[in-house]
Amino acid sequence: MSSKKPRAEEDEQVRPQEAAPRPRPTVAVFKFASCDGCQLSLLDAEDELLAVAGAVDIVYFPEATSIMRKGPYDIGLVEGSITTHHDAERIQQVRRQSKVLVTIGACATSGGIQALRNWKDVAEFVRAVYAKPDFISTLKMSTPVAEHVPVDFELRGCPINKAQLIELIAAMLAGRKPNIPTYAVCIECKRRANVCVEVAQGIACLGPVTQAGCGALCPSFNRGCYGCFGPMESPNTPALTGRLRLLGQDDDAIVRAFRGYSAWAWQFRQAGEECERS
Amino acid sequence: MRSKTNGARSIRVDMLARVEGEGGIRIKLKGEQVQDVQLHIFEPPRLFEGFLRGRHYQEVPDIVARICGICPVAYQMSAVHALEGILGITVDPAVRLLRRLFYCAEYIESHALHVYMLHAPDFLGYPDAIAMARDHRQTVEQALRLKKAGNQLMAALGGREVHPISVAVGGFYKTPSRAELRAFVDELQWARDASIATVKTVAGFDFPDFEQDYECVALRHPNEYPLNEGRVVSSGGLDLDAAEYDEHFVEQHVKHSNALHSRLRERGSYLVGPVARFNLNFDRLPETARQAARDVGLAPPCRNPFRSIVVRAVELVFACEEALAIITEYEPPPAPMVRAAVCAGSGCAATEAPRGLLYHSYEIDERGLVLSARIVPPTAQNQKRIEDDLWHYVPQLAGLPADQITARCEQAVRNYDPCISCATHFVTVEVG
């Protein structure tokens, strides 16, 4: 085709990324049961926000804008867990509308703190706590998005690390895999040259089984990790349980430690339930 | 959206934008008469007071932070004060100052977000701050820098901006050195000046001619602008200890909301938040903040809810000024945390979240485990008042096209900076 040659010449003069103005990918931010903290992380990226807004087209993000354009969207960011019948239907729509669906944060990725209801009789609980329980529509369980629809990428954390969110967006724009490590918080402690709070002070710490991403914040503040980023890849939870017992933690305390912000992630769920049974 | 049959109209906003959490508005009009106003809250309940039962008291500050990503410090503060009351803990004066500093940082972050990114677009006619940046790039960049000043101070004190990890019952897990805090002085001085400029900028917006006679409720402290401590006072003459809260305030469960409505037992709806604090505590503001208000003709009592944006800007001046004063005075405490023997008991506390009075009460057993918890967030308290504002405001708008009525009503809701995520996590737990 005759048009090919001039295009090739152009390409030599103009660097590929500056060439043909590609349409900016559209981004939508959806909220389910959550605290708003993970989507706020995007607005908290003060240094990058205007650049991000220049690189992508934010077309649905009710917390930040009155623009509410209909889908489909190139990237759907989902915050929050599924806790109502309505939301269980809505997540199906969100999946249909999003070419790429990314869950942001512990609620969307593992059910969040509200998944603690999963071990309780919620119907009885609602009757006990609301004057008019008929007004309340809630599911018995708080479940992660991936239990309802396929998820393309999960960003961990309670809250997410905003640098990881920017990395994720940058990676998507470049069409590469995001560089999000899946090793343990312990690695981050070593990098920061923290003295291990568990070894040196006998403080209970979930760092050995928790995915990195926070920068080992809690040990840096002289306390044990409490698992905001959920289980690392292949965590050895039985070994940690044994270690926590040696430190004098009773089984109730160990169960509570695993039942926190990523309680419903199967590795932590299993670790807590094993401890309860023993 | 509008539908018309026999002169009856309904205004619907299915999803309120630029608020935290999920809510909508339904208004029914007949001619110029308002027949019904409902602020719908469909944010799913997360049942926090339920999970708190059986948790150790030292886990509570971390758990309640998760009620709100925008004001986690407020939840942590009301919780630690209530729990320290039960355990008989008195914190070191330096810890007390640091907590106040932490609160200032949250005010800067939260108010800068609301003033510039959530509320200003209404007055300037933009859908959001990003669109606003195309015409007002410098203003938005300054807003982001101001917000960042608050967030960086939050991160220095708490490790990160959202759900900080340093707050403990008894103090902090780690306290900053003097030098670490001194490093913020230059930026906070810039932030204070930027806040003074913000007061001038937002006071120049067009405000609807709309005034209400509010019963304002806020904390009042003998010599400070209230954040962590004080008695609960009101413009209607209340003057109570937090422990007497339940005798005067009551919550109702209404069908259209997953958050309970708070009312004064005697008098119905009331107002909490920046305007209430300002009206009741103007004399406790630092002189720079008072002067910034006077310069734009703002004096208590402020009765126009649309001017809350100016009051928030005045509180930004206060928060920067107060943070600077604390940093100048600060010497690290001898120990970051006071430890106490566990004992059973119950206690409560109220602090001033950026959005208003935040009441917590807890009961713990002899092992330190929570038996019951109750949390009354500011937006639950303002919910009824937001509806009342709309009842009175909508008749003024009746002649306008529907899309303008809708936009104005949304703006009126945003006057309250409502945090719907917070409000919904309020449930009353009856034990036994």
Contact A256 B163 (CB under 8 A): no
Please give the Cα distance from A177 to B267 (Å, whole number): 59
pTM above 0.90, yes or no: yes
% of chain A at pLDDT higher than 90 = 82
pLDDT at B429 over 60: no
Question: Nearest by CB to B20, which of A63, A218, A223?
Answer: A63
What is the count of residue pairs from A and B with beta carbons less than 8 Å apart?
Answer: 182
Residue of chain A whose alpha carbon sits nearest to that of B20 = A63
Using pLDDT thresholds of 50, 70 and 90, give the confidence band for residue B31.
confident
The ipTM (two decimal places) reads: 0.92
What domains can be seen in chain B, in order of their start residue? 2-41 (no CATH), 48-424 (1.10.645.10)
Contacts of B63 in chain A (CB under 8 A): 113
Residue with the larger pLDDT of the pair A131 and B298: B298
pLDDT per residue as tens digits for the range B204-226: 999 999 999 999 999 999 999 99
Across chain B, mean pLDDT equals 92
Using pLDDT thresholds of 50, 70 and 90, give the confidence band for residue A23.
confident
B8: its two tokens: 């009856």
Contact B17 A66 (CB under 8 A): yes
Q: How far is CA B292 from CA B80, B85, B220, B228, B377, in A?
A: 33, 37, 21, 24, 29
User: Which residues, in sequence order, are bridge partners of residue A184?
Assistant: A211
Contacts of A65 in chain B (CB under 8 A): 17-18, 127-128, 130-131
Contacts of B118 in chain A (CB under 8 A): 64
Measured between CA atoms, how close is B330 to chain A, in angstroms? Answer: 19
Pair A258, A275: CB distance under 8 Å: yes
| pLDDT of the residue at B371 | 95
User: Which of B113, B160, B413, B424 would you mutate first to test chain A, the one with the most A CBs within 10 A?
Assistant: B160
Contacts of A117 in chain B (CB under 8 A): 47, 50-51
Residue of chain A whose alpha carbon sits nearest to that of B144 = A46
Domain ranges of chain A: 19-174, 185-277
Q: What is the end-to-end Cα distance of chain B in Å, rounded?
A: 47
**Residue that the structure tokens 């405000």 belong to:** B207
User: Which residues, in sequence order, are bridge partners of residue A79?
Assistant: A31
Question: Nearest by CB to B69, which of A40, A135, A218?
Answer: A40
Please give the Cα distance from B36 to A121 (Å, whole number): 36
Q: How far is CA B137 from CA A24, A40, A60, B237, in A?
A: 20, 21, 22, 46
Using pLDDT thresholds of 50, 70 and 90, give the confidence band for residue B430.
very low
* DSSP-H helix ranges across B56-136: 60-65, 72-87, 93-112, 120-124, 129-135
Contact B117 A43 (CB under 8 A): yes
pLDDT per residue as tens digits for the range B163-199: 999 999 999 999 999 999 999 999 999 999 999 999 9
pLDDT per residue as tens digits for the range B330-356: 999 999 999 999 999 999 999 999 999
Contact A41 B140 (CB under 8 A): no
State the Cα angle at B423 between B100 and B67, rounded to 5°. 60
DSSP designation for A76: E
Please give the Cα distance from A57 to B127 (Å, whole number): 14
CB-CB neighbours of B249 under 10 Å: 20
User: Which of B1, B14, B51 would you mutate first to test chain A, the one with the most A CBs within 10 A?
Assistant: B51
Please give the Cα distance from B171 to A221 (Å, whole number): 13
Contacts of B134 in chain A (CB under 8 A): none
CATH 3.30.499.10 fits A19-174, yes or no: no
| pLDDT of the residue at B373 | 92
Q: How far is CA A68 from CA A64, A89, A198, B238, B404, in A?
A: 10, 19, 48, 43, 17
For chain A, the residue count is: 278
User: Which of A66, A86, A158 would you mutate first to test chain B, the one with the most B CBs within 10 A?
Assistant: A66
Contact B69 A38 (CB under 8 A): yes
Please give the Cα distance from A64 to B127 (Å, whole number): 9
A140: its two tokens: 């018995």
Contact A138 B253 (CB under 8 A): no
Q: How far is CA B278 from CA A57, A217, B196, B209, B325, in A?
A: 39, 36, 16, 20, 20
pLDDT per residue as tens digits for the range B214-265: 999 999 999 999 999 999 999 999 999 999 999 999 877 777 777 677 888 8
| pLDDT of the residue at A212 | 98
User: Which of B1, B18, B43, B47 would you mutate first to test chain A, the one with the most A CBs within 10 A?
Assistant: B47
